[in-house]
Amino acid sequence: MRTPIDMYVIEKVKEMRTERNISQEDLSIALGFKSNGFVGQVESPNYYKHYNIRHINKLANFFGCSPRDFLPNHPI
């Protein structure tokens, strides 16, 4: 089951990904997944996958931002 914080992070990553015209496949590969469908599964409501703290750190490196940029300013 995805929590509200999971959904916040997923939407934030998707927003940054689409603003930069990065495909789900390219982001999956950048995160180190051999299967290029990881990001698609995270963004799909049909799966329960979500990003963890290691993913958030890799995402920050990939997008050139702080891990904080994927998190809300206040607890959810």
Structural domains of the chain, count: 1
Cβ neighbourhood burial of 52 (10 Å; 0-12, 13-18, 19+): exposed
- Residue 1: the pLDDT is 87
- Residue 35: the pLDDT is 75
Q: Is residue 21 in some structural domain? A: yes
User: Contacts for 60-68 with beta carbons within 8 Å, 24 or more apart?
Assistant: 62/27, 62/30, 62/31, 63/16, 63/20, 65/16
Look at the block and give the residue holding tokens 């490196």. 61
Type of residue at 36: N
Residue range of the domain that includes 42: 4-70
pLDDT per residue as tens, the chain (76 positions): 899 999 999 999 999 999 999 999 999 999 999 777 999 999 999 999 999 999 999 999 999 999 999 999 999 9
- The pTM of the full predicted model, rounded to 2 decimals, is 0.93
Phi, psi of 4 (to 5 degrees): -60, -35
Tell me the CATH number at 22. Answer: 1.10.260.40
Q: Is residue 76 in some structural domain? A: no
